[in-house]
């Protein structure tokens, strides 16, 4: 009898999952701010924002950004989201041997600096990735500018 009653008690509140997500307007605002920062620094880049499920919400590519920039920016955003860690930290972990280098061979994964997790109050909202500046540290600085631009809109 006790075993028959247990599943009903466990299933009660777990039947639905409620989550928060970025609006397209906020995702666009982050991407535009990142692009603006890179332009101010003299770089032609691509910026991607992915939602909490890894799907692209926004992709901006400057006129003279390199051919792989858009795909790489999306992969950086996806990687940060997937591992719930900034890609510069992931790249260091792979180089130091703390993380298996084989993970970098997975589809849509880019263990290169320039991808950041978008989260607020411990809630995962998505990822932002920038590619095309001469160095991942510069890509990351632009991505950080994108996050700063929306910080007051996503803090809850």
Chain centroid to CA 50: how far?
6
Q: In the structure, what pLDDT confidence band is assigned to residue 12 with cuts at 50, 70 and 90?
A: low
**In this structure, is the dihedral angle defined by the CA atoms of residues 122, 24, 77 and 51, taken in order, positive or negative?**
positive
User: What pTM does this model have?
Assistant: 0.89
Strand order in the sheet with 56-61: 56-61, 46-51, 123-131, 115-120
Q: Taking 50 as the threshold, does the pLDDT of residue 9 lie above it?
A: no
Q: In the structure, what pLDDT confidence band is assigned to residue 127 with cuts at 50, 70 and 90?
A: very high
Q: In the structure, what pLDDT confidence band is assigned to residue 5 with cuts at 50, 70 and 90?
A: very low
**What pLDDT digit, counting tens, does each position of 63-117 carry?**
999 999 999 999 999 999 999 999 999 999 999 999 999 998 999 999 999 999 9
CA distances from 77 to 11, 101, 114, 116 (A): 34, 19, 8, 6
pLDDT of residue 156: 64
**CA–CA distance, 151 with 99 (Å, rounded to integer):** 30
């Amino acid at each position: 009898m006790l075993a028959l009653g247990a599943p009903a008690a466990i299933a009660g509140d777990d039947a639905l999952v409620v989550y928060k997500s970025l609006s397209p307007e906020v995702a666009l605002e982050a991407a535009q701010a990142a692009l603006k920062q890179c332009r101010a620094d003299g770089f032609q880049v691509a910026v991607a924002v992915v939602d909490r499920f890894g799907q692209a919400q926004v992709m901006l590519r400057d006129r003279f950004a390199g051919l792989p920039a858009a795909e790489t920016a999306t992969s950086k955003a996806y990687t940060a989201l997937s591992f719930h860690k900034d890609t510069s930290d992931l790249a260091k972990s792979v180089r130091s041997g703390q993380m298996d280098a084989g993970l970098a061979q997975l589809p849509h994964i880019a263990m290169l600096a320039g991808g950041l997790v978008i989260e607020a109050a411990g809630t995962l909202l998505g990822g932002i990735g920038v590619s095309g500046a001469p160095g991942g540290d510069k890509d990351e600085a632009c991505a950080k500018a994108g996050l700063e631009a929306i910080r007051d809109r996503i803090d809850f």
